[in-house]
Structure 1
Amino acid sequence: MSASTVSKAEGIYAKAGSLSSERRWALWTAYASLIFAAIIFLAPPVYMFVTSLKGSAEVANMTGNPWLVRNPTLENYTTLLSNRPFLKFFLNSAIITVCVVAITMVISILAAFALARMRFWGSQFLATGVFLTYLIPDTLLFIPLYQIVGGLGLLNSIWGLVLVYPTLTVPFCTWIMIGYFASIPKELDEAALIDGATWPQMLLKIFIPVAMPGIIAATIFAFTVSWAAFVYPTAFVTTPDQMPLTIGVVSQLVRADTFAWGQIMAGALLAALPPVIIYAFLMDYYIAGLTAGATKG
């Protein structure tokens, strides 16, 4: 073997070692960043869970380590689950969420299909305007919406919330669906039109089955927003029997300057359980839908 060949081989090995070292440092940096982010994001729910296992006396004791439970108990959970107002809050949230998700998906799918595939004058401008409406803060909308809901006689009613929640969910869900419908090859609808299919038939038999990941992503978003909304129910609902879970727990477990911290934390964890379960099983569809909506259209 010649000297030049040996030197080339040594150079290749040195370069490979350098790349391996760089890759190792990149992995260590990535792992360190992920661990740090996990600690930051998991600290609040872990602390909530720890507090929910404490009795009132232990919560009031300020001398011990707040992250440790000396006498764990499920009393806070059993008290809430046997409390009729809490179960009513949960039922109200379920009714509101199901109705809002159904309304949102019907409007979003029809609007997105029209804007993405049925090209007409101003469709691009209208599609952009739909998404821009999502950027308007809730705090600017609830005052005029309060007057509208009051004029319809729906204040202090879950149906008033069913009416106003779609103003939060429809714009973003429509934007997601526009991106997903736009990513579907145009040859599919052109072939369907040649075969004599109507636009509704194309939507039901071609676009909805193909765009199911995007529909699931939009459904998860609508569910999360309607389940966790706080500003609108705080403004529109004052009677306990019509309150959803987000404000019902706070209103019933906070009395003047007395906070039932154990039950508040237990109620917050129970309220967060449905979205956590949904995200755990459908996270891949949610990411796929958001990715398509962000890169197409």
Structure 2
Amino acid sequence: MASNATTAALGTYVKDKTPLWRVRQAIVTYTSLIPYIAFSLFPFYIMLITSFKSKQEINNLGKSPFWATRITIENYKYLATNTSFFDAWMFNTIIVSLASTAISVVIGGLAAYALARLRFRGVEAFGVAVFVSYLVPQSLLFLPMIEIVNYIDDFIPIRDSYFSLILTYPTFLIPFVTWLLMGYFRTIPFEIEECAYVDGASRIRTVISIVLPMAMPGIATAILFAFTLSWNEFLYSLVFIQDELQKTLSVGVVTELIRGDIYFWGSLMAACLIGSIPILLIYAFFMDYFVSGLTAGAIK
């Protein structure tokens, strides 16, 4: 009887103490994250505060840069009325990013599956070539890319338009997507495909019905990375496009809001803040796929 009473009292003690222990653990966990969160969000905070400041307050060195004494939306009005930010740049960036990402994921996915599953002469050399081509910097490629765009422009008018970007962006996106998906396809057990072959499924049907659904986390990760690289790309857009209405966000903001030694800081911060929102939303909604796809490929 005494033993039962002691056990019951111990159970009550543990039950009472467990919520407190969990609260303490949560406090320690979230407190340790505060410096990281503050460090990560600080640039966005500065962009937000600066975008709502007047030009006079921004140029006044006696004012604190960490808060605004008077809130104004004149910087956003300047973007809407004096630039092509909402009329052209945002639309062009979305079209270029979606089109180049779709092309790169389709071609890179097919190449990754072939390199990960098929056995043919030179497969390892092809894999190394894909990785090496991914490492080549864009600053070495834009000169031959100009020659290619000029040659194609003789038949199809793509020069000085965002169609030239849709054509050239996959040159650095496809190697990256291929390299990323190769590791993920290798994590899928080959026995599953063999079972489909035994049941009479062709290779194409096996890939569409079995491999692709299982590889969705890796494909989603490739889409996120490819879209982000396309959205933030600067060099090709700067070199290939001079028409203001054909520019993307990354180039339009720099060329139109920085004139010589004059910086339109308020409008620059407003443009950067608005331009970063789509990427933040995409990563927020697809973070689970992003993490699972990265870890699976890294473990393999």
Taking structure 1 as the reference length, the TM-score comes to: 0.85
Task: Give the structure 2 partner of residue 265 of structure 1.
Answer: 269
Aligned to 1:15: none
In the alignment, which residue of structure 2 is the partner of 1:19? none
> For 1:15-164, what aligned pairs fall within 5 Å after superposition?
34-82=33-81, 85-87=84-86, 88-153=88-153, 154-164=158-168
Which residue pairs with 2:221 in the alignment?
A: 217
Match of 2:203 among 194, 199, 213: 199
Determine helix, strand or coil for the equivalent of 2:286.
helix
Q: State the shift of 1:80 in Å.
A: 2.1
How far off its partner does 1:83 sit? 5.3
Separation in structure 2 between the aligned mates of residue 113 and residue 200 of structure 1, nearest angstrom: 11
Residue ranges of structure 2 left out of the alignment (5+ in a row) = 1-23
The residue number in structure 2 matching 1:244 is: 248
> Which residue of structure 1 lines up, in the alignment, with residue 286 of structure 2?
282
Asked if residue 190 in structure 1 is aligned to residue 194 in structure 2, the reply is yes
CA distance in 2, matches of 1:114, 1:160: 28
Q: Which moved more, 1:58-67 or 1:70-79?
A: 70-79
CA deviations over 1:7-55 (Å, ceiling 9, x no partner): xxxxxxxxxxxxxxxxx9xx979965x5444444332222111110101
Aligned residue number for residue 294 of structure 1: 298
Aligned residue type for 2:290 = Y
Q: How far apart, CA to CA, are the structure 2 residues paired with 1:44 and 1:63?
A: 21
Task: Look up the SS of the partner of 1:238 in the other structure.
Answer: coil
User: Partner amino acid for 2:49?
Assistant: V
Aligned residue pair count? 270
Query: Alpha-carbon deviation of 1:244?
Result: 0.5
- Amino acid aligned to 2:78: T
Matched AA of 1:286: F
Percent of counterpart pairs with the same letter? 42
Cα deviation for residue 274 of structure 1 reads 0.5
Task: Assess if the C-alpha contact under 8 Å between 2:184 and 2:296 holds in 1.
Answer: yes
Query: What is the distance in 1 between the residues matched to 2:80 and 2:288?
Result: 32
1:170 counterpart residue number: 174
Q: Distance in 1 between matches of 2:75 and 2:83?
A: 14
2: CA distance between counterparts of 1:50 and 1:30?
26
Say what the alpha-carbon RMSD is for the aligned residues.
2.1
List gaps (5 residues or longer) in structure 1.
1-23
* Greater displacement, 211-220 / 139-148: 139-148
Change (3 A) 1:226 1:64: same
CA distance in 2, matches of 1:134, 1:28: 42
* Per-residue Cα deviation, 1:110-152 (whole angstroms, up to 9, x for no partner): 1111111122222123123212211111111112112211222
8 Å Cα contact 1:92/1:242 also seen in 2: yes
Once the 2 structures are TM-superposed, how far is the Cα of residue 159 of structure 1 from its aligned partner?
A: 0.8
Distance, in Å, in 1 between the alignment partners of 2:48 and 2:78 is 16
